[in-house]
């Protein structure tokens, strides 16, 4: 894209968008694609996040690629697309909101594919924030939303986690310099390690041998060193005050909520169930997965439910 204008009126030019497509586009009489499904990954996720549904895209599967045209992009703020790291703006990158992520995606769909309406959106974790925000602000833009291991707001322990990560990062004096230093690398690792405990379920972690768990903890911190600290800071901040509770009644799309009973971020009783009651045209699937927040890696366990939901959009 030539440029993108943020909610705060800041503009970034020569915008890079990383994406992939697969499936079978179908067109109306005006030559417009009518069967597009957009995939939105979690925090700092890339277009490759769509791999989670690839096993279910064969003939007669829920996401049969002969029926649908899939578009997956690395969202605003994620490395690969327009972000603090790819623009090299670092801490001078414009602050962005979840609505900015939505507008960035919509602008790309229009400019690249001339798409003004999509069949649906599948959002995982932060991608669920994007889906709900889009359905609220552009209620006629999509027919359905699949909102997985996500919520209508960041609150309680999840809000405190975001605040804690932000505090770790901003407490490093080198952060304001906008240049990578040994101190910032150490700070990045600590900030990422703070999030380790919120992926897998309490049950899964408790069953692990302590020596194995310690190794997993260390490995996670080392792997996350590939993350750009400014990408992490901006993404974390964009989610911290996310709250669409009072606007859920604006949603016209059919919504499938996939909740994980053992999700440390968004437990079913606090997020999935209340959200399903507040969104009129919604269905709720509760997964009993020890993978917790990572239960999208076990979608085969709800294959029949996904098939039934998608049968309404064939």
Expressed in angstroms, the distance from the first to the final Cα of the chain is: 31
Q: Is the dihedral of CA 61, 63, 64, 65 positive or negative?
A: negative
How far apart are alpha carbons 279 and 141 in whole angstroms? 17
At residue 102's C-alpha, the angle toward residues 18 and 135, to 5°, is: 135
Neighbours of 55 (CB within 10 A): 12
- Find all residues with CB under 8 Å of 79, minimum gap 6, and list them: 44, 46, 85, 86, 227, 228, 231
- 231 flagged as catalytic: no
Residue 270 phi/psi, 5-degree rounding, is: -100, -20
Bridge-based pairing state of the strands 11-13 and 3-5 = antiparallel
Which of the following is catalytic: 61, 228, 231, 263? Answer: 263
Residue 174 phi/psi, 5-degree rounding, is: -75, -15
How far apart are alpha carbons 283 and 277 in whole angstroms? 9
Q: What is the CA radius of gyration of the chain?
A: 19
How far apart are alpha carbons 125 and 129 in whole angstroms? 7
Closest by CA position to 164, among listed 126, 130, 193? 193
Bridge partners (DSSP) listed for residue 287: 260
* Residues annotated as catalytic (active site), given as ranges: 263
């Amino acid at each position: 894209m030539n440029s993108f204008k943020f909610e705060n009126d800041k503009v970034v030019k020569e915008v890079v968008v990383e994406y992939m497509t697969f499936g079978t586009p179908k067109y109306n009489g005006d030559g417009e694609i009518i069967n597009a499904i957009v995939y939105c990954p979690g925090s700092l996720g890339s277009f490759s996040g769509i791999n989670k549904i690839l096993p279910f895209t064969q003939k007669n599967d829920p996401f049969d690629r002969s029926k649908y045209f899939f578009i997956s992009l690395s969202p605003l703020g994620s490395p690969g697309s327009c972000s603090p790291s790819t623009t090299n703006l670092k801490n001078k990158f414009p602050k962005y909101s979840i609505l900015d992520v939505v507008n960035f995606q919509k602008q790309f769909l229009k400019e690249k594919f001339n798409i003004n309406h999509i069949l649906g959106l599948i959002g995982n974790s932060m991608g669920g924030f994007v889906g709900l925000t889009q359905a609220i602000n552009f209620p006629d833009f999509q027919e359905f939303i699949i909102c997985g291991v996500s919520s209508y707001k960041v609150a309680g322990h999840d809000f405190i986690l975001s605040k804690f990560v932000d505090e770790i990062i901003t407490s490093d004096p080198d952060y304001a310099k906008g240049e990578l230093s040994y101190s910032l690398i150490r700070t990045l690792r600590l900030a990422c390690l703070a999030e380790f405990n919120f992926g897998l379920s309490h049950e899964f972690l408790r069953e692990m041998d302590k020596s194995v768990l310690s190794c997993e903890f260390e490995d996670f911190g080392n792997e996350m060193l590939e993350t750009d600290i400014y990408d992490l800071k901006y993404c974390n901040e964009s989610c911290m005050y996310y709250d669409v509770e009072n606007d859920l009644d604006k949603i016209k799309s059919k919504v499938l909520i996939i909740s994980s009973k053992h999700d440390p971020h968004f437990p079913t009783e606090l997020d999935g169930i209340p959200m399903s009651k507040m969104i009129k045209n919604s269905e709720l699937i509760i997964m009993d997965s020890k993978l917790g927040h990572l239960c999208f890696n076990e979608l085969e366990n709800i294959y029949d439910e996904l098939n039934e939901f998608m049968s309404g959009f064939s």
